[in-house]
Amino acid sequence: MRDVWIRGAAMTHFPKHDRGARELVEEAVAGALADAGLEPRQVDAAFAGNASGGLMYGQESVRGQVVLRRSGLTGVPIVNVENACASSATALHLGWQAVAGGAHDRVVVIGYEKMDHRSRPRRRQAINATMDLDEAAELFGPEAARERYLQLDAMGTSRQFSRELLSLLSVKNRYHGSLNELAHHRQPVTVEQVLASPAVSGSLTSLMCAPLTDGAACLVLCSSGSRHGRAGGVRVAASVLLSGRGDDMRRRSSIQETARQAYEAAGVGPEDLDVVEVADVTSLAELYVYRELGLCREGDEERLLKERTVWLGGRLPVNPSGGVLARGHPMGATGAAQVVELTWQLEGRCGQRQVPASRLALAQVAGGWIGTDVAASCVHVLQA
């Protein structure tokens, strides 16, 4: 298989936009192609990840062709990818396969989401759709969709963390987000503010949960690492996608297994990482993922956070972008946005939130929930 390089990377701001999905995608695609120094006519294929366009606005079947129709990319193969919050990470995995396997030399990967912020029922429906609806109805009844989603998220860990620790995690990511000009939330918060915010589910408060936002992120993958006439760049050292274990508790969690395969494929271990982006849909989710990725042993999560190991300035910053807690969670765009951030980190383009001398990065995102596990799990390892 050939090496695959990220030659261009761009994303939009992630607030609640007045603009539609097509305009957001056009901004991200134009930015990534300019970053890569390529024209649309030089692209061989496009992979478009989106999670909720059908439920939000009724656009099914040809979403990628619709949002890309004015981008100059029409005529090339366009693959539409829907895989819950892992939609654009899955699109990236497919794009990586296409280039690594020699089918294409240059592909565009796009992730985007445009929520209908006027309709709470539609947003609830989109959240519900990331689960087995029969299972969700049996467990939680027909109401409180967002609460169901967060409770299912909480079921992924066998031990509970204190409310103070969950709050401190939110403080970390909101501080990181304050340094990110593209983040939805740019105002730092205190532990007291997080604890005092409205209760959502169990120990979780609203400031421990990611906001559903709009946005788009785009990556240009190439078989050559040349960027703007210079050698080098960011290489995709590993790309692993798995479905969850469902009801089979004899198997390890999909996040743990995805990470294991990614480390093996890249020839590295968690101790080699310099910077990490994970899917912190809640504060609890990030703390849980630390152990699943091998960043610590079970029970050491509190130490990582309180000793500031995972803060900017620590040995292994996690979510220097602010994560989805601060950057925002445009479901189908999140996986690609993580990799855009890490590409910028490895290229030294992150300004105040730059992790110095970073050479190896990992992105983790999960989508949906089935039985005892997430429905989709994706891990990418990037190397400068």
Of 99, 157, 90, 123, the closest CA to residue 299 belongs to 157
Q: Position of tokens 């910053």?
A: 317
Q: Could you please report the per-residue DSSP string of 154-197?
A: HTT-SSPPPHHHHHHHHHHHHHHHHT-TT-S--S---HHHHHHS
Q: Which two tokens stand for residue 48?
A: 């478009």
Separation between Cα atoms, residue 90 and residue 85, nearest integer Å: 9
Edge-to-edge strand list for the sheet holding 360-367: 78-81, 45-49, 106-113, 215-222, 5-11, 234-243, 376-383, 360-367, 275-277
**What is the maximum span of the chain, computed from C-alpha positions, in angstroms?**
58
Three-state DSSP state, 56: helix
CB 278 within 8 A of CB 364: yes
Verify whether residue 176 is a known catalytic residue. no
Catalytic residue among 13, 17, 85, 380: 85
Is-catalytic flag, 329?
yes
What gap in Å lies between CA 179 and CA 129, rounded to an integer? 33
For residue 375, give the nearest of 149, 61, 85 by alpha carbon: 85
DSSP annotation of 85 reads B
Nearest to 330 by CA among 113, 11, 20: 113
From CA 97, how far away is CA 107, in angstroms rounded? 11
Task: Write the Ramachandran bin of 228: left for phi over 0, alpha for psi from -120 to 50, otherwise beta.
Answer: left
Active-site position among 93, 176, 184, 329: 329
Q: How many helices (H) and strands (E) does the chain have?
A: 14, 11
Active site residue ranges: 85, 329
